[in-house]
Amino acid sequence: MDKNKRRAVIAGNWKMNKTPAEAAALMDALLPAVAGAGCDVVVCPPFVALPAVLDKARGSAIAVGAQNVHFEKSGAYTGEIAADMLAELGVRYAIVGHSERRQYFGETDETVNKRARAAVDAGLCAIICVGENLAQREQGVTEDLIRLQTRVALGGFTAEDLKKVIIAYEPVWAIGTGRTATAAQAEEVCAAIRMLLAELYGQKVADGVSIQYGGSMNAENAAELLAQPNVDGGLIGGASLKPADFGAIVKAAGV
């Protein structure tokens, strides 16, 4: 397995933060902070801030993603956003299955699969999140759970589809808590994900899929995490709202 076959991807998940005006101001600070990035850089603002962020990102190295996407093209789904709507705006990525969506809004492995399918069919890159909670880790079922989540999320996906997929391992117990998986723990799970991808699609395809770590990665721990053979980037929460910190993570990924 040659990590150099994959380009690192650092994606900032802004969650429910920043009005359109505030998002534009944050982009003004982020653009110089990530200038000359040696990796792919993505920011995922709230839906209402997408136009402002897309305008600021135009012509830059920053791509724009959405924090969620619905699985139907249109219809009576009040409050939802379809993949084609996002694609027409110029959005290129969509996060699906984030633990907060699973925890607070009833997301299931099956709906994650449907959302990922819709994103890829619309030409978006789906950032598919998988991860265990603290009780599951302490019970020793982390790898079994991650394999199940990943397998169901990719149900019906072909090897060609995987060119538009990123897997983000985000241990629920390390999101927003200040706790972080050790580099060894992150590598162990990311390697298990790649092993499953090899079983399903062959080693060559598996070696081409980027796998992110998404549990409180910050400017201090990014370099160690990103040095692991199977950690190809990060899905960044709080640190993505701090231009200097986000820039440091991007720099660490491009080394």
Which residues are part of the catalytic machinery? 98, 170
Q: Which pLDDT tens digit goes with each residue over 93-112?
A: 999 999 999 999 999 999 99
pLDDT at 144 over 60: yes
DSSP label at residue 82: B
Mean pLDDT on 218-239: 95
pLDDT given for residue 7 in this prediction: 87
Residue 254: predicted pLDDT = 86
Which pair of tokens denotes residue 99? 């633990």
Report, as an integer, the average pLDDT of 65-92. 98
If 0-12 CB within 10 Å is exposed, 13-18 middle and 19+ buried, where does residue 181 land? buried
Helix axes 142-153, 183-201, angle to 10 degrees: 40
pTM score: 0.96
Task: Report residue 1's pLDDT band, with 50, 70 and 90 as the boundaries.
Answer: very low
CA distance 248 to 182: 19
What confidence category does residue 255 fall into, taking pLDDT thresholds of 50, 70 and 90?
confident
Whether residue 74 is predicted with pLDDT greater than 90 in this model: the reply is yes
**What domains sit in the chain, N to C, each tagged with a CATH number?**
3-253 (3.20.20.70)
